[in-house]
Amino acid sequence: MTREYLKKATMTSTTDATETHRIVTGILNDIEAGGDEKALEYAAKFDRYDGNVLLTKDEIDAAIAQVPDKLKADIDFAHDNVKRFAELQKSTVADVEMEILPGFVAGQKAIPVEAAGCYVPGGRYSHIASAIMTVTTAKVAGCKHITACSPPRPGTGIAPAIVYAAHICGADRIMAMGGVQGVAAMTFGLFGLPKANILVGPGNQFVAEAKRILFGRVGIDMIAGPTDSLIIADKTADAHIVATDLVSQAEHGYNSPVWLVTDDRTLAEDVMARLPELIEDLPEVNRDNAAAAWRDYAEVILCDSREEMAACSDEYAPEHLTVQAGDLDWWLGRLSCYGSLFLGEETTVSYGDKASGTNHVLPTSGAAGYTGGLSVHKYMKIVTWQRSTREASKDVAIATARISRLEGMEGHARAADVRLAKYFPGETFDLTPHA
The secondary structure of 246-291 as a DSSP string is HHHHHTT-TT--EEEEES-HHHHHHHHHHHHHHHHTS-HHHHHHHH
Name the nearest CA neighbour of 178 among 141, 214, 207, 139: 207
The answer to whether residue 15 scores a pLDDT higher than 60 is: no
The answer to whether residue 144 scores a pLDDT higher than 80 is: yes
Q: What are the residue ranges of helices labelled H in 12-55?
A: 18-42
Asked whether 261 and 311 are in contact (CB, 8 A), the reply is no
The answer to whether residue 170 scores a pLDDT higher than 80 is: yes
Least confident of 3-7, 197-201, 410-414: 3-7
207-239 pLDDT, tens digit each: 999 999 999 999 999 988 899 999 999 999 999
Asked whether 369 and 321 are in contact (CB, 8 A), the reply is no
Catalytic residue from among 19, 319, 377, 427 = 319
Query: How far is the C-alpha of 328 from the C-alpha of 4, rounded, in Å?
Result: 24
Helix (H) or strand (E) holding 302: strand 299-303
Least confident of 14-23, 191-200, 201-210: 14-23
Helix (H) or strand (E) holding 213: helix 205-214
The answer to whether residue 165 scores a pLDDT higher than 60 is: yes
Single-letter code of the amino acid located at 339: G
Phi and psi, residue 104, nearest 5°:
-115, 110
Per-residue model confidence (pLDDT) at position 13: 62
This prediction's pTM: 0.93
Per-residue model confidence (pLDDT) at position 338: 98
Instruction: Give 202's contacts (C-beta < 8 A, 6+ positions apart).
Output: 119, 121, 127, 130, 224, 361
Asked whether 202 and 167 are in contact (CB, 8 A), the reply is no
Single-letter code of the amino acid located at 349: V
Domains of the chain in sequence order: 18-221 (3.40.50.1980), 226-372 (3.40.50.1980), 389-435 (no CATH)
Per-residue model confidence (pLDDT) at position 348: 97
132-141 pLDDT, tens digit each: 999 999 999 9
| Residues 427-432, mean pLDDT to the nearest whole number | 92
Give the alpha-carbon dihedral of 303, 306, 308, 314, to 10 degrees: 110
CB neighbours of residue 146 within 10 Å = 26
Longest CA–CA span in the chain (Å) reads 89
Per-residue model confidence (pLDDT) at position 342: 98
- Give yes or no: 19 in active site: no
Name the nearest CA neighbour of 117 among 78, 146, 141, 85: 146
Q: What angle do CA 357, 363, 369 make, to 5 degrees?
A: 115
- Give yes or no: 127 in active site: no
Catalytic residue from among 79, 145, 167, 320 = 320
Kindly give the pairing relationship between strand 258-262 and strand 299-303: parallel
